[in-house]
Amino acid sequence: MRFIKKPNLPKKAVRVAIVDKRIGECGRRLESLGVNLIYTEDIKSLSPFIAAHPDMQICHAGDNRFFVIDDAFEYYVNEFERIGANALCEKINKEGTENCLLTYPKDCVLNVAMTKGLAIGLKGNEILKKTDGIKVYTRQGYTKCSVIFVSDKAIITADSSIAKSSQNFGIDVCIVSNDAVGLSGYKNGFIGGVAGKISENKLAFCGNLELHDDSEKIKSFCKKYDVECISLSNAPLYDYGSILPIL
C-alpha cells in the first residue's frame, strides 16, 4: 500500500481515511464512496468534546511518515498493521500532568496544517521543528482545525492570523465564517474540522455545505481549482476534527 505523498492532497481516489469514531452518517456516506475508514479512539488527556478528533491525535507528514500523540501511539501502530500499511510513526509526547486534561495550547501539538513542503502552525511547535519546507507561523494553535487544503497553494480558513500569514507566502486564501459549524460543548466548531479531500478533485464536507452562509463563496473558490464540493449528509456542517486521507 502506498501512502498519499502530499498530506491532505491525494492525487487519486482515497482508499483509506482517518475519521472521528462519532462521525456516524457521514462515515457511512464516505464508505459508500469507496473510502475505508480508520476510526479514532478517545484520548483521555483531551476534552471529551474533541477527544476523538483525528487532527488532535495524528499528523500526516507525507508518504509513510506520521506524528502521533503518545496516548494514541500504540493504537495507530496497530491499526496500520491491521490494514497492512507500513507506516513510520514518531511518538510526540504531550506536555502536562498525567491524568489531567490538557488545555490550550498544550492540547494542540499535533494540530498542524501540513502538505508537502508546507506546514502552518504555532511558532515553536515540535512538529514544525521536525519537518522541512516552508513554515508559516500563526497565532492560532488549532491550525489544522482551521484550514481546508484545496491545493498546495490554496486554502479555506476563518482565521485572520492564518489568512494573513499564508498570503505573505503567496497562498490563495478564501476567508469564511465558523458561525454555522457545529461542535458540542462549544459555541461553534472550526471550518477545517468539517472537511477533507477524497480525491484530487473532490472535497468532502461533514454535513450539508448549502446550509453554510458562505457556501457559494466556498464552491466558487474550489471551482477555480477544479475541485468539486461533496456534502456527506443533510445536517448542518459539523466539526469532526477533519477527514484525514492517508492511502
The 10s digit of each residue's pLDDT in 150-159 is: 999 999 999 9
For range 80-98, the mean pLDDT: 87
26-44 confidence digits (pLDDT tens): 999 999 999 999 999 999 9
Q: What's the pLDDT band for 100 if we cut at 50, 70, 90?
A: confident
Sheet holding 134-138, edge to edge: 113-115, 118-122, 134-138
The C-alpha atoms of residue 89 and residue 200 are separated, in whole angstroms, by 25
In this prediction, residue 94 carries a pLDDT of: 79
Q: Encode pLDDT of 162-212 as tens digits.
A: 999 999 999 999 999 999 999 999 999 999 999 999 999 999 999 999 999
**C-alpha to C-alpha distances, 197 to 104, 105, 246, nearest whole angstrom:** 27, 27, 10
- The model's confidence at residue 121, banded by pLDDT at 50, 70 and 90, is very high
Distance from C-alpha of 231 to C-alpha of 207, rounded to nearest angstrom: 6
* pLDDT band at 147; cut points 50, 70, 90: very high
For residues 101 and 192, which has the higher predicted lDDT (pLDDT)? 192
| Position 101 confidence tier, pLDDT thresholds 50, 70, 90 | confident
The mean pLDDT value for 88-99 works out to 79
**Mean pLDDT score of the chain:** 96
How far, in Å, CA of 28 to CA of 53, rounded? Answer: 17
Higher pLDDT, 96 or 241: 241
Q: Which long-range contacts (CB under 8 A, 24 or more apart) does 95-104 make?
A: 96/45, 99/44, 100/45, 101/45, 101/46, 101/47, 102/45, 102/46, 104/141, 104/142
169 vs 118: CA distance, rounded Å: 10
Q: Is the pLDDT of residue 99 over 80?
A: no
CA 19 vs. chain centroid, Å, equals 9
98 confidence band (pLDDT: 50, 70, 90): low
Torsion of CA 31, 4, 142, 20, to 10 degrees: 20
How far is CA 149 from its chain centroid?
9
- Please tell me the predicted confidence (pLDDT) of residue 96: 59
Cell numbers for 184, please give them. 458540542
Query: In this predicted model, what pLDDT tens digit does every residue of 223-238 receive, in sequence order?
Result: 999 999 999 999 999 9
Concatenate the DSSP letters of all residues of 69-135 into one string. EGGGHHHHHHHHHHTT---EEEEEPPPS-TTS---TTGGGTT--EEETTEEEEETT-HHHHH--SEE
Q: How far apart are CA 7 and CA 138, in angstroms?
A: 19
